[in-house]
Chain A
């Protein structure tokens, strides 16, 4: 079964960097994922797609501070030079031919 696992929460200081993790279920190491950001009281926004080889494709207007990478079954979102507006929920999402799956989301607090 295709499942994505995320830690419920993360925190980092203003100006620092943070790395969020999304883990694919067993047998799905080759799957790409997408990262979406949801700021408080707003709808989600597509950030980037991350492939199994670590390459990533960002959405329009996404700052260079956001980057993606991979290792095995793990897909990462790294945010550098954290700003207050980065405080948000971050969801990973993957897909099969007839299914779309979201992770449970990580709530990022900027201290």
Chain B
């Protein structure tokens, strides 16, 4: 059974870099699927941040592209999110998720982590 778990600091200061890790169990991230990050500001809807394939291929939301980096650590079966120059508007619950099979043409999130809350505040 595939499980995803987000971890990282719950509090980040404005202008600093938010760093989160998604640890995957029950499936190797080095095979077949895309993996992604999604966030949800308090009281609002879901927002896609970006997606990656283990080969290093990445896609980012146009609105966040200048500040986002998604990296993979295949030896640890993890992938990470870095969001630079954060402001209060980046306060949200951050989720990682498994997406579709590479080259399948189907890129929907079929397994979600439980999410981690990040607050941006001094």
Q: Does A105 contact B (CB under 8 A)?
A: yes
Segment at the interface with B among A14-22, A63-71, A73-81, A91-99: A91-99
Cβ A93 vs Cβ B108 within 8 A: yes
B82 to chain A, nearest CB (A): 19
Contact with A along B53-80 (1 / 0, CB 8 A): 0000001011000000000000000000
Cβ B95 vs Cβ A43 within 8 A: yes
Contact of A43 among B51, B100, B115 (CB under 8 A): B115
Cβ B46 vs Cβ A43 within 8 A: no
Given A43-B93, A44-B112, A45-B112, 10 new contacts (CB under 8 A): A34-B110, A36-B112, A38-B46, A43-B114, A46-B110, A94-B108, A95-B100, A100-B99, A102-B45, A105-B46
A-B contact pairs, 23 of them (CB 8 A): A32-B106, A34-B109, A38-B46, A43-B114, A45-B112, A46-B109, A46-B111, A46-B112, A49-B106, A89-B45, A93-B108, A95-B108, A99-B48, A99-B59, A100-B59, A100-B108, A100-B109, A102-B38, A102-B46, A102-B47, A102-B48, A105-B45, A105-B46
